[in-house]
Amino acid sequence: MASYSQWTVSRVKHGPSRITWVCGEQRVLVNEVIGVTSNVIGADDTEQWCAGQDSERSIWAGILAIPASGYKRLTVVREAGKLKDWSRLSEYLAARSLMQGSYVLFEAEEHDFPKDGDGKLAPPADMLRDSTLGQIIRCSPLNQEDSVAWVIHQLPAVSDSQARHLLSRTSGDLGEVRAVLAKVGLFNGRITDDILDLLCAELPGDFADKLILRDLPGAMLAAETMDAASLGYSIGYLASRLELLSTLSRAAQENVPWRDVVSRMGVPAFLAQKYFGLARIEYGTLRMSRAWHALSVAEDAYRGGVSVGVAEVLAASWWR
């Protein structure tokens, strides 16, 4: 079993495994594992399947097809947790000598490895763990130092302090970090905190964060430039942040230090550090109730096809 950080080390030392299972809540990292592994393999032919949509019989036929000598074939199966007959994987493992050029990448939507009722690894994770051909990877939220290292690896021109600043502005959302870094080239490679702030202000999550942090002028300004897609994203983002704030507020009431919230409750360090004090002071029971109500009204309007003015009304009613 490997975390994302452990995988980055093992891929340099040992190269790609013949069969890889990757899952986890950090989808940016999951897709990075798939992309990097595919590039390193350099397959002559790649097949893409989606379990639940494509026939399971066809998927296994593709996986078990014996490649020609000296020929590399990669089979990528998305949403692999929906596959049911894992006995077919045993056929691949048993025919390993015939499968020299065959590689398989299983991508699962689940946050954790498949487990049975006793909490032990279930197929195919246990089969791959016990095989020299297999590797199972779980992409969970990175700790603070690994997140900083990840940002710098994406763009080496970013300094340590700038990486920390960017992670703070995006609340540790690696997808938003990557979106910002992709636009840095527009500034001829110059990177300053002001430029990072400018790019972060264009993110849909920026409205939500300003609203949560009670920066109403900033939230209203961000609302003016939001389109319908950004509004939908922001509503979902706010819902996830309210769940987080509820957890942090409850921990504060129970006198749980924020560092223990990270270790015991699995809250990413960046989020705990950014929101813990705010949750303790501002997000009590009454505030949470009003925020949920305001968000519910906004969501109903959005689902009803209304987008103009919804963000502004949401911002005004959130802190009423």
Average pLDDT over every residue of 7-14 = 85
Residue 192 CA to its chain's centroid (Å): 26
DSSP state string for 102-164: EEEEEE--SSS--B-TTS-B-TTHHHHHTSTTEEEEE-PPP-HHHHHHHHHHH-TTS-HHHHH
At the topology level, CATH places domain 2-138 in: Rossmann fold (3.40.50)
Look up tokens 């979106």; give the residue. 179
Structure confidence at residue 189 (pLDDT): 67
Percent of residues, the chain, with pLDDT higher than 70: 99
CA–CA gap between residue 199 and residue 178 (Å, rounded):
11
- Has residue 185 got a pLDDT over 80? no
Residues 6+ apart with CB under 8 A from 67: 73, 99, 100, 101, 102
CA–CA gap between residue 303 and residue 232 (Å, rounded):
9
Instruction: Report whether 1 contacts 113 (CB < 8 A).
Output: yes
CA–CA gap between residue 288 and residue 107 (Å, rounded):
36
**What pTM was computed for the model?**
0.70
Residue 107 CA to its chain's centroid (Å): 13
Structure confidence at residue 197 (pLDDT): 81
**What SS3 class is residue 63?**
helix
pLDDT in tens, 242-271: 999 999 999 988 888 877 887 777 777 777
- Has residue 188 got a pLDDT over 80? no
Structure confidence at residue 148 (pLDDT): 93
- Domains of the chain by residue range: 2-138, 143-202, 204-320
Structure confidence at residue 31 (pLDDT): 92
**What SS3 class is residue 245?**
helix
- Has residue 204 got a pLDDT over 70? no
* Mean per-residue pLDDT over the chain, rounded: 89
Percent of residues, the chain, with pLDDT higher than 90: 56
Structure confidence at residue 77 (pLDDT): 97
pLDDT band of 161, cuts 50, 70, 90: very high
Bridge partners of residue 2, in order along the sequence: 137
CA–CA gap between residue 56 and residue 87 (Å, rounded):
12
Written in H, E and C, the secondary structure of 18-53 is CEEEEECCCHHHHHHHHHHHHHHHCCCEEEEEEECC
Q: How many C-beta neighbours within 10 Å does residue 146 have?
A: 15
pLDDT band of 48, cuts 50, 70, 90: very high
CA–CA gap between residue 112 and residue 109 (Å, rounded):
9
- The burial of 317, by beta-carbon neighbours within 10 Å (0-12 exposed, 13-18 middle, 19 or more buried), is given as middle
Q: What are phi and psi of 68, to 5 degrees?
A: -70, 155
Q: What are phi and psi of 265, to 5 degrees?
A: -110, -5
Average pLDDT over every residue of 116-133 = 93
Question: Where is pLDDT greater, at 46 or 230?
Answer: 46
Bridge partners of residue 115, in order along the sequence: 121
Q: Give me the sheet containing 19-23, strands edge to edge.
A: 2-3, 134-138, 19-23, 102-107, 73-78, 45-50
Structure confidence at residue 66 (pLDDT): 92
Bridge partners of residue 20, in order along the sequence: 105, 135
